[in-house]
Structure formats: C-alpha cells, structure tokens
Amino acid sequence: MILDSKKPLVDLTQPEANQSTTSYGTSSTTGLSSVTSSQPSENPFFSPSDDAGILGSTGLLGSSPISTEPPPSFEASAADKVLAGFPDVFVPPGGEEPPPEFTPYNAEYFVNGSGNIVSHDKHLNEDGEALYRFILSHSQTSYPKYVIDISGSHSEQRFRTVSYKDNQGHLRTRTESYTETIIDFAFKIDLTQHLHGGPIIHWSLPDEEPAYRGKMYKEVDGFFAESHHPTNGGTDVESGLGSGAIRLGGGNSVEVRKRRKATKKELKCAKDWEKDRVQRGYPPWVSPTVMGSQLDGTSGVTRDVVKNGVLRSSKTLREWADEYCASEKRFKEFTYEKVVYGWNIAALEAAITAAVKSTYYEGDPTVEFKISHNKIHVRPDSRVARMLSITWVKVILWILFIYPFIWLYKRFARRGGGRWEVCGGAYPLKAWQFSGPSSTAGMSIAQDIYSNATLIGMREGEWFQKWEGTIKRAVTGRLRTGETLVEPDEFQPNTAALLLDGYHP
C-alpha cells in the first residue's frame, strides 16, 4: 500500500517547520536540510539517576527505592546516600517526537539467525521516505528480546589412561591429568515481558560522540577551528567554506562544520562511557557531556541543560535515511539499533550473584544480560551484497581468502562501503513520564524533576524481590534447562511443618 502523495510528511523534531513533500510511493530522494532539534515531546521517557544504586569509583553504592507516592521533603531526600553522593543528578529527557500514523511500505526482508531484520529492497535504498517508514513500522511491531542468563560451574581435575608407542615401538600406557569444567546449573529468565509498551522513542547519537556516519570508520560531527585566508579578498562562502563557517575574532581562524575521523582518545572515552551507560541503565541519547564533564558521573546537570534538553544529533532519523539513500556506495549499510534501558544492571547483577552465593554455592556463578532481535539492517539490492548477508557464504569467502579483498575495497575505494549506525529505538523497562521542570524557587533539581514526573514500568528491586526465591531454589536444585523462565515458581510451604506449634510460613 502507498501513502497519498498529497499528504505532507511531518518532521519528527519540528512538527511546525518546513515539511518535506516527498511522496511515500515515489522513488525520488529528498535533499538534506539542516534542521535544529526542537524541544522533546511533552511526555518522553527518561531514566532517573541511578535510583537503584550508582557505580562509583570504589564499587556499588546503596540503593534507594523510588515510590510512586508524592516525593519526600528536601530534608528527607538529603539523607539519601545516592543523592548525598551525587547531588542534583538525573537523566534529561530525549528522543524524537512520536511519528504520525502511516501505512507501512511492504518491503522485501528476511530474519537472520540472530533474529535481526535484513532487507535488500531496492526501493528502500532509493527513497528516504520509504526507508523511514519501514524502520518505524518494524520498530513498533518487533520488540527486542532481553533475558538474564544465570549459570554456575566448577572445575574438576580428572585422570585418564592413554596408550602410546615408545622409541622401540613397544606399546605402553601412562596416566595423565586434565581439567574439566562442570556446569552445575544454567537457566534463563525472560525480561522482554517487562518492556513498557508505550510509544517507541527514536533517538540519535550526539554529534560529538564517535559513530559510523557514512564511512567505514567512526567519525565525529561538529564545528572545528581552521586557519583560512579568503582568496582574492573574497568572502568565506566564495572561498569554498560554505555559509556555515564562523570567523573567529576577525582573524584568519574560522570554525567550519564538518566530519572528521575520531581520535583514539575519543574512541576510548566513548567505549568506556558506553559500558558505563549500559551498567547504569541510562538511555542511549545521553552523552558524558550531558551527565557531567567526567565519565564517573560526579558532576551534576544544571537547570539550563534540563530546559534545553540533551545534546543529540543535529539530524533527524528521516534526514539520516535521506543521506543513506543519496549515497552511491556499492556496499553501504544502514543499521537501526533497538536498545533496552531503565534498570541499574550493575546493581541487579550484584544482587543476583549475592542470592546465588547465599545458597552456600561454592562454584563460579555467572550472570549475563543478553539482548537479541535488536537490529534492522538495510543493504543494497545487488547480487554480491545479498550473498554477503548469508553467513555460510561469507565463511567460504574467508577460507578462500576472497573476503579480505572485498573488505579492502569497502574500506578504501571511493564508492566502496559505508556504514550508518547513528540512530535507533529505545525500549524502557522503567522510565519517568516527564511533564517538564517547574520554575519553583528554592527547590533542588531533583525535587523539581520528580515533582513533575510519573514512574511507569516495574522497578528492578520489585522484580528481584519477586524472583529471588525462584533463583535460590533453581540454584539449590541444580536446574539445567534450555527453556526460558517466564513466571516465578510458587513457594510450597512444608505441610508437615504446619503441624508444629509456633510454625508460621
């Protein structure tokens, strides 16, 4: 089905700005425009600041459950050890506004072994509107799968007898030792059912964060100072800098908006922040510059940041789709990533590990949070590109030493490869429905935020309290199953003990 070509497209971040008139059914590609991100929607979702414990430099601090009741007084809140260690820390709202209703384009696609959606549809590679609608459709109909994998193992030294021939050709035997890993228990718990079913928040990475923006290496986008001398007394625009150039101090130094390759320091900082962000349960649009100048989160967020929203990409999801379709690269790829956020993963992992060890288990427990079915890939409609999407074909090309030459072409050729991995969808386990900070004088930022927000979803502490008994009984009973547990088992009291005087289950 094809949308009416007379119906204008509504931009995600500027609903009242100049709108694109590209029809959904056409194969034309809209031009790229510079659009400044507007304020977030009235009811976006954002995660609170480590309400279940924050990772500090020396480990986990304590947790303080957040109630849906009216917030306590400032004096009572000041006694909380989380707020005391990190005053006025919270996660600002972010993401793009919900899109209007639409009729999705029925594009060709398949689901690979990892559960990810892969499409080589020709129309999606030519029309940014069609690509945009395709992504929105599948982001709303296919949620990522999120599970906790809990297992325990121990090592045992064993002995075996082996036969061999000596130098004279005589058959002899000897005993040798070896170490074998024994799996004591292994089971999974489903968390997908706890994802909030509200509107999907479409996010894009901040310009200053390294990401794939059309090249085979990560780039940062922004204004960078350059020394420039206008030719023949001309202006900056006439000299090739463009209308976005800003001359500094009337001299020869100008700021030019461009993309450049990310430095090793920037890549390392981004990697460290990504790991820390996931552990704390922050949404993906939050960057270190929003949470503070340091990655340890010790700096708070000012009221100006709350008012202006988070720092994110200067392009909308639709504009990134247009840029991808405008590229003529033969091995380009657009990736939309689905991210789960909201729970303090580090604190929950520590709580589960402590529950396992409380059963007097002396092995090595492992707790992993695994996500799958969380990506949408769009690739060119060519025979070679389709073959490279098949795993066994790629393995054969590696064995025959053919794929390294393909990789070199993608990496260095002008029309080789390009990756766009700068946007996605956010699915909260727990979030705050935010109505905007008030201007009440004398209130802290934390009070200002929580007085205008409503908690939705299940808190990680509530989930753990519900599942703690099941986890302990599974460990004690050495449960090993390939099926994912969906509901906790019901505790069965000891019927014989009920006859004892004074026993109360």
pTM of the model as a whole: 0.70
Residues 395 and 246 in one domain: no
Tell me the average pLDDT across 110-127: 94
> In the chain, what percentage of residues exceed pLDDT 70?
63
Written as six digits, the tokens of 181 are 């890993």
Q: Does the residue 447 lie in any domain?
A: yes
Tell me the average pLDDT across 152-163: 92
Cβ–Cβ < 8 Å for 191, 342: no
Q: In this predicted model, what pLDDT tens digit does every residue of 408-467 receive, in sequence order? A: 999 999 999 999 999 999 999 988 776 655 444 444 444 555 566 778 889 999 999 999
Residues 304 and 446 in one domain: yes
Written as six digits, the tokens of 418 are 């390009």
Residues 321 and 208 in one domain: yes
Q: Does the residue 18 lie in any domain?
A: no
Tell me the average pLDDT across 22-26: 40
Residues 62 and 106 in one domain: yes
Q: In this predicted model, what pLDDT tens digit does every residue of 474-490 receive, in sequence order? A: 999 999 999 999 999 87
Residue 498 parent element (H or E): none
Number of H helices, E strands in the chain: 13, 19
The CA-atom distances, in angstroms, between 130 and each of 314, 374, 382 are 21, 20, 18
The domain total for the chain is 2
Residues 236 and 364 in one domain: no
- How does residue 157 score in pLDDT terms, banded at 50, 70 and 90? very high
DSSP class of 40: P
Residues 197 and 316 in one domain: yes
d(CA 274, CA 162): 49
Cβ–Cβ < 8 Å for 336, 39: no
Give me the pLDDT at residue 98, please: 59
Give me the pLDDT at residue 452, please: 66
Residues 104 and 233 in one domain: no
Going through 266-374 in order, the beta strands assigned E by DSSP cover 331-341, 364-372
Q: Does the residue 33 lie in any domain?
A: no
| Domain that residue 230 falls in | 222-261
Above 80 in pLDDT, residue 293? no
- How does residue 215 score in pLDDT terms, banded at 50, 70 and 90? very high
